[in-house]
Amino acid sequence: MKKTLNAIALVEQQTGILSATVAGFTAEGRIFVNMDQEIQDGVMPRRVLCDYLQTTESDNVKLVAGDRVLVLMPSGPEQCGCVLGKLGTYQSPNKDKVLIKADKELTLECGDASITLRFDGKLLTKAVDIAVIAKRTHRIRGGSVQIN
C-alpha cells in the first residue's frame, strides 16, 4: 500500500491530477469529490464537481460515496474536473466463472443468431439453424413441452 501512495504523490506533484474521495452525485450524473489535500497556495476548493472519464463503451465501474479516485483538476472556476478512475488494488479477472448482470434484459448477438434473457424469466433463442448436442443424457423438462 505504501508504494501505491508514493506513486500517487509523484503523479500529484507533476500534474493537475490529485487524489480525492467521492462525496456524492448529481441527478445529471456528475460527481462531487472531496480533495484529499489542499494545494499549497490555498487556492484549490475542497469540494470539486466532476465528470467521469468513460474509457470503454462497457465501462462498468461502480462508484459509491467514500471511494478513492484520481481527479484531473478543472482548469478554471467555471469548469468541471474529471474523475479518471477508481483507486484500489488490481484484481485479475476470474476465468473460472463470468457473471454478467442486467436489470431488465441481456442479449448476446452474433450475425443472425441471438440469445436474450429477460427479467421475467424468459429465454429467447433466435437463429437460422439450432443444433443441441449432448454426449450424455439430454433432458427436457417443463410445465409443458411443445414440439412443432
Domain definitions of the chain by residue range: 2-86
The C-alpha angle 9, 11, 7, rounded to 5 degrees, equals: 55
- Contact between 18 and 10 under an 8 Å Cβ cutoff? The reply is no
pLDDT attached to residue 121: 94
Over residues 79-111, the pLDDT tens digits come to: 889 999 889 888 777 778 878 889 999 999 999
Q: Which fold has domain 2-86?
A: OB fold (Dihydrolipoamide Acetyltransferase, E2P) (2.40.50)
How many CA atoms does the CB half-sphere of 37 hold within 13 Å? 12
Residue 71: count of CB within 10 angstroms of its CB: 23
pTM exceeding 0.85: no
Mean pLDDT over all residues of the chain?
A: 83
